[in-house]
Amino acid sequence: MAEYKLELKGVSKSFPGVKALEKVNLSVRPGTVHALMGENGAGKSTLMKCLFGIYSMDEGQIFLNGEPVEIKNPDDAMKKGIAMVHQELQPVLARSISENMYLGRFPVKHFGPLQVIDHKAMNQETEKWLKELGLDYDPKALLGSLSIGQMQMVEIAKAVSHDATIIIFDEPTSSLSDKEVDFLFKVMNDLRDRGVAMIYISHKMDEIKRISDDITIMRDGTYVGTWAADALTTDEIIAKMVGRELTNIYPEHNHEIGDVIMEVDGLTSIHPKSFRNISFKLKKGEILGFGGLVGAQRTELMEGLFGIRHLASGTIKIHGKNVTIKKPADAMNAGIGMITEDRRGTGIVGCLSIKDNVGISVYNKFLQAGFVLNHPAINKVVDDSIEKLRIKTPSMKELIQNLSGGNQQKVIVARWLANDPDILIMDEPTRGIDVGAKHEIYEIMEELAQQGKAIIMISSEMPELLGMADRVCVMCDGKLTGEIDKKEEMTQEKVMSYATMF
């Protein structure tokens, strides 16, 4: 048996105007978890897409078990025993879990001269694989009825069911609760024992330390190096990823907390299993963190507050006055802004320019004669934010879909800065963006708080939650289970105990 299960040597790939990969190497030993790390835009996903046959390489070679191979398309990759759990799920929501698991390889039985799909076998097989991951979903349930975290588990079950010898996990835990992550790691450990080689892409350092054997680090499309996982500390990994030492990733708190600006009382969703009877206060110049497990209904609560979801009961008072919020425009009029969790789904308008993505919520404020858009004024606002937020783009006319995740997020931040709300809700503001951009987002939050804005931040990353928030509310299963208002009492253990008060 060859030393390496899989080797990629000297892989280069260019897109028009961008050199995405430059002679990158990756060598994965059988029966190991190999972490692939780098900031967003470092080329990790591109490399994996080359391996999986989604992109064709300009240069370089792939070796499987020491033999050179060519992978033409994803189907080819799967036949060679390579499976991939995608960063962005692409499931068929309107079909059942089992149909999604067996899409493209439905089990068949013979019905006279006809070949028909064997639904019974398919459902049984699906159930078996789900059980193996410790999941008790009904294989016949529509995939769309699952949460994003659950769908991800199905996706992982699918990769496992392929009986693949190489599995690529592209940020599989970004939507999973801790419990689900434990499941995943248990399954990964089993797979490791069976000799499966796994490539694991994640930004979460603690997970990397926990699960991986080897680490390969990439930076700006180039290969930095490969190390044994226990040979590097978290700080060293970060330093190698960004090429600089990060002393403290959270900015110093210098903002002053003022009077209460918003009072929420008894907010309850129209759905019985969603948020119930939530009351909290928000103060000027405060960063209020919302912690909890995935599925704790934090996003739903904030979307209810912002008018994206319906409320059954409850009152919202802003500056001491009751406000009625039925749609996002109402919330904006009341002085609330919201950066949603799902950047692609409810944040950006991909086919429009940076300018239009910023302008969309403020065109109201830039009118001449009541209806003619004042383009020079808008351009100035957009140009200023590009400079201030250091958005990397050739011009404001660039389509937002051509930017990296971190830069897209900055454009959304720019949209809300232009709108100048008193209260800004940020739902997972740094999800899926690189360390450098994260830090910049934190600095922006600190600056806004200094200006007296009130910020609500939902975060599933404990260090971020504890590092940024002045006060933390913790939710579990739709209820507010705890509040920690003293900085010294904010500990991971305390948050976790509130978060699991089912």
Residue with Cβ nearer other proteins (41 or 328): 328
Using CB under 8 A as the binding rule, whether residue 76 contacts other proteins is answered as no
Using CB under 8 A as the binding rule, whether residue 502 contacts other proteins is answered as no
Out of 90, 372, 486, 502, name the contact with other proteins by CB under 8 A.
372
Runs of H (alpha helix) within 200-283: 205-211, 234-242
Out of 15, 194, 266, 397, name the contact with other proteins by CB under 8 A.
15
DSSP string of 129-194, one letter each residue: HHHHTT----TTSBGGGS-HHHHHHHHHHHHHHTT-SEEEEESTTTT--HHHHHHHHHHHHHHHHT
Least distance between other proteins and beta carbon 310 (Å): 14
Using CB under 8 A as the binding rule, whether residue 86 contacts other proteins is answered as no
Over the window 29 to 68, marking each residue x when it contacts other proteins by CB under 8 A and - when it does not, the resulting string is: -------------------------xxx------------
Cα–Cα distance, 288 to 501 (Å, whole number): 20
Over the window 180 to 219, marking each residue x when it contacts other proteins by CB under 8 A and - when it does not, the resulting string is: ----------------------------------------
| Phi, psi (degrees; rounded to nearest 5) at 394 | -65, -40
Least distance between other proteins and beta carbon 295 (Å): 21
Of 383, 394, 428, nearest in space to 409 by CA: 428
Out of 66, 95, 363, 397, name the contact with other proteins by CB under 8 A.
363
Least distance between other proteins and beta carbon 207 (Å): 30
Question: Which pair of tokens denotes residue 267?
Answer: 């907010």
Using CB under 8 A as the binding rule, whether residue 84 contacts other proteins is answered as no
Residue with Cβ nearer other proteins (340 or 409): 340
Using CB under 8 A as the binding rule, whether residue 18 contacts other proteins is answered as no
Over the window 295 to 314, marking each residue x when it contacts other proteins by CB under 8 A and - when it does not, the resulting string is: -----------x-x------
Block residue for tokens 């191979």: 69
Out of 122, 238, 348, 484, name the contact with other proteins by CB under 8 A.
348
Cα–Cα distance, 472 to 161 (Å, whole number): 41
Cα–Cα distance, 400 to 386 (Å, whole number): 12
Segment (H or E) for 76: helix 74-79
Using CB under 8 A as the binding rule, whether residue 373 contacts other proteins is answered as yes
Residue with Cβ nearer other proteins (126 or 419): 419
Using CB under 8 A as the binding rule, whether residue 347 contacts other proteins is answered as yes
Residue range at the interface with other proteins (CB under 8 A); choices 91-99, 128-136, 246-254, 358-366: 358-366
Least distance between other proteins and beta carbon 391 (Å): 17
Least distance between other proteins and beta carbon 101 (Å): 26
Q: What angle do CA 286, 437, 390 make, to 5 degrees?
A: 95
Long-range contact set of residues 147-150: C-beta below 8 Å, sequence gap at least 24:
147/294, 147/295, 148/89, 148/175, 149/175, 149/176, 149/177, 149/180, 149/294, 149/295
Q: What angle do CA 368, 370, 376 make, to 5 degrees?
A: 25
Using CB under 8 A as the binding rule, whether residue 323 contacts other proteins is answered as no
CA dist 3 → 28, 32, 167, 349 (Å): 9, 12, 18, 47
Tell me the site size for other proteins, rule CB under 8 A. 34
Least distance between other proteins and beta carbon 347 (Å): 6
Out of 158, 203, 219, 415, name the contact with other proteins by CB under 8 A.
415
- Asked if residue 154 lies in contact with residue 146, where contact means CB atoms within 8 angstroms, the answer is yes
- Non-local (6+) Cβ contacts of 365 within 8 A are none
Cβ burial 141-159 (10 Å sphere, 16+ → b, else e): eebeebeebbbbbbbbbbb
Residue with Cβ nearer other proteins (16 or 272): 16
Residue range at the interface with other proteins (CB under 8 A); choices 132-140, 349-357, 446-454, 476-484: 349-357
CA dist 383 → 84, 329, 396 (Å): 40, 25, 7
Residues within window 418-457 making contact with other proteins, judged by CB under 8 A = 419
Cα–Cα distance, 407 to 398 (Å, whole number): 12
- Asked if residue 3 lies in contact with residue 163, where contact means CB atoms within 8 angstroms, the answer is no
Cα–Cα distance, 425 to 448 (Å, whole number): 12
Residue range at the interface with other proteins (CB under 8 A); choices 113-121, 140-148, 318-326, 348-356: 348-356
Residue with Cβ nearer other proteins (126 or 407): 407
Cα–Cα distance, 229 to 226 (Å, whole number): 9
Using CB under 8 A as the binding rule, whether residue 350 contacts other proteins is answered as yes
Residue with Cβ nearer other proteins (1 or 372): 372
- Asked if residue 289 lies in contact with residue 469, where contact means CB atoms within 8 angstroms, the answer is yes
Residue with Cβ nearer other proteins (14 or 491): 14
Residue with Cβ nearer other proteins (57 or 187): 57
Cα–Cα distance, 450 to 187 (Å, whole number): 46
Using CB under 8 A as the binding rule, whether residue 345 contacts other proteins is answered as yes
Using CB under 8 A as the binding rule, whether residue 346 contacts other proteins is answered as yes
Residue range at the interface with other proteins (CB under 8 A); choices 92-100, 122-130, 274-282, 351-359: 351-359
Binding site for other proteins (CB under 8 A): 15-16, 54-56, 306, 308, 327-329, 332, 338, 340, 345-352, 356, 359-361, 363-364, 367, 371-373, 375, 415, 419
